[in-house]
Structure 1
Amino acid sequence: MTAKDWLMKKIERVLDRIFSVISIFCLVGLICTVLIQVISRSLLPQAPSWTEEVSRFFFISGVFYTTGLAKSRNAYVNVDILEQKLHSNARKVYSILINLLVLGFNLVVFVESIGFTQSGATFIADTVPITMNYIYFGTMVSSFFLMLYTVFDMIKVLTNKNEEAGDAQ
């Protein structure tokens, strides 16, 4: 294993751990918020109004922060009928093309999400006193790390680490 391979694996492991912790936090937050909502609707005359919005924030954040994990573990659904019919070199080219499309799409999302996040600073959530740029920030983080994981996947494909790469197996 070269120093570059070691560094790339180390970065991936650290990012995976960070996003795993954030994802677990979002899931636990979602569960607790929904439990508060359900229990208060059963026992109180009126449920707290903030629970619906906070549960939505936890759900959206959880989705945003798990996209990188899904990419790093090749957990996205894909249709590989065409890919299976290709020879190994053509499969590599196909995988690189798919990754370039994913990279390009996420680059556009990342660039657009910068302005989107900045515009959220002027909006305050309805029931919770936070600005929406904290929520919108997930779009930026998600697209950036999807780009990073896509580059990692392309490096694995190009260096014949097919057992670790996304589409080129």
Structure 2
Amino acid sequence: MIRQIHKNLRRLMKYGVLLSTIGLLVSVLIQIYGRFFLAASPPWTEEASRLFFIYTVAFAAAPALGEGYFIALDLLPKGMPDLWRQRLGRCVQLTIIGLCAVLAVYAWGFVRLGFAEQSPGMGFRMAIAFFSVCLLFASVSVLELLRLVRG
């Protein structure tokens, strides 16, 4: 059951990476086309590409952590016995889960503040942009928790 939830959440995050990357590419291509072939590029493309980039990172962080794509210092664990290496790994996982959960809660406060603000270029509520930070920390926390419980 937990394995299936973990797998589905990772799949959802990977689709988010794919869609936000496609959005980033499309907005940048529109911007390039506008600069070369139109009198001026549309003003919203710069803000859209920034937003798509931020969401690409937010969606990609949790799967990347789970698959070991981040830099890890393994000098200390290499010299440890297997039991202590596993314990250290669990401590690192618990620390990541705790820190990301706390940061997700505080990021949600910024999302709530963002409902009162409006984007200058695209006109949407800034809560949409601020939600990316909450998504990043919440997804890392939840996926690491599921990975820890799954074993």
| Residues in 1 aligned to 2:15 and 2:141: alpha-carbon distance in whole angstroms | 20
Residue of structure 2 equivalent to 1:94: 88
- Give CA deviations for 1:19-53 in whole Å, capped at 9, x if unaligned: 11111110000001000101110111211111000
Ranges of 4+ aligned residues in structure 1 off by more than 4 Å? none
**How far 1:127 moved relative to its partner?**
0.9
Percent identical among aligned pairs is 23
RMSD: 1.3
In 2, the alpha carbon distance for the partners of 1:153 and 1:31 equals: 32
Counterpart of 2:41 in structure 1 is 47
Structure 2 length-normalised TM:
0.94
Greater length-normalized contact order (CA 8 Å, ≥ 6 residues apart): 2
In structure 2, give the amino acid aligned to 1:123: E
Q: Give the drift of 1:85.
A: 1.1
Per the alignment, residue 116 of structure 1 pairs with: 110
CA distance in 2, matches of 1:39, 1:64: 27
Q: Which of 105, 127, 130 does residue 136 from structure 1 map onto? A: 130
**Partner residue, 2:19:** 25
Structure 2 unaligned regions, length at least 5: none
TM-score (norm. length: structure 1) = 0.84
Counterpart-to-counterpart distance in 2, 1:118 and 1:87: 47
Which residue of 2 is the match for residue 66 of structure 1? 60
Residues 102, 147 of structure 1: 8 Å contact kept: yes
